[in-house]
């Protein structure tokens, strides 16, 4: 949507108290603070597009200011690699400060090594997020201090935030 169209749709949602989800925030132009406030004001939520760990964490944390009292808050990850977006390249400092393999999942229950396809071994430090299977590596990169880890609880709250947004939408019908 263009920025003008986005403002119009948010206005319609506000008039009808209908929550919206921006599932690929960051494509189609920048969102203004007023648009984000409007989206969250009607009970909506946002998913940001992937980026290298430091920038991804910053994108997630920047949305905290739109948190509403009494509403579960999370920020999703909306990959849009079908033509409008790309997956992140390696961090510029990855050679000096690499993601260390193996790593553990956010909850610590699963150990991940480098993903392999046949004889090829993927490495976030060398090829970035070359395919969706490396999204856990990107999250681990934040965990290992290459981005602000305070973003991770917000990311992992996104499923519940989405479900609660959906429930609000169903009530508004």
Name every residue whose Cβ is closer than 8 Å to that of residue 149 and which is 6 or more positions away in sequence.
Answer: 57, 142, 143
Nearest to 36 by CA among 55, 63, 58, 4: 63
Contacts (Cβ under 8 Å, ≥6 apart) of 145? none
Q: Which single residue is written with the structure tokens 């209908």?
A: 18
Report the run of H or E that residue 41 belongs to, with start and end.
helix 33-41
Taking the whole predicted model, whether its pTM rises above 0.75 is answered as yes
Query: What is the pLDDT at residue 104?
Result: 97
- C-beta separation of 128 from 89 below 8 A: yes
Burial per residue of 34-55, b for 16 or more beta-carbon CB atoms within 10 angstroms, e otherwise = ebbebbbbbbbbbbbbbbbbbe
Q: What is the tens place of the pLDDT at every residue in 30-48? A: 788 999 999 999 999 999 9
C-alpha 47/C-alpha 135 separation (Å) is 15
Summarised one tens digit per residue, pLDDT across range 77-121 is: 988 766 666 889 999 999 999 999 999 999 999 999 999 999 999
Instruction: Write down the pLDDT at residue 3.
Output: 79
- Summarised one tens digit per residue, pLDDT across range 117-139 is 999 999 999 999 999 999 999 99
């Amino acid at each position: 949507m263009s920025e003008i169209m986005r403002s119009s749709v948010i206005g319609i949602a506000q008039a009808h108290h209908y929550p919206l989800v921006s599932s690929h925030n960051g494509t189609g132009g920048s969102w203004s603070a007023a648009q984000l406030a409007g989206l969250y004001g009607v009970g909506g939520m946002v998913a940001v597009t992937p980026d290298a760990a430091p920038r991804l964490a910053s994108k997630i944390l920047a949305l905290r200011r739109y948190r509403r009292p009494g509403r579960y808050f999370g920020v999703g990850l909306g990959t849009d690699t079908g033509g409008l977006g790309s997956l992140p390249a390696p961090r510029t400092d990855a050679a000096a400060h690499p993601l260390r393999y193996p790593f553990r999942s956010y909850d610590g229950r699963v150990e991940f090594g480098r993903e392999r396809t046949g004889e090829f071994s993927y490495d976030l430090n060398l090829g970035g997020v070359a395919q969706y299977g490396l999204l856990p590596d990107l999250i681990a990169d934040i965990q290992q201090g290459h981005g602000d880890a305070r973003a991770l609880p917000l990311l992992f709250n996104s499923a519940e935030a989405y479900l609660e947004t959906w429930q609000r939408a169903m009530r508004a019908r």
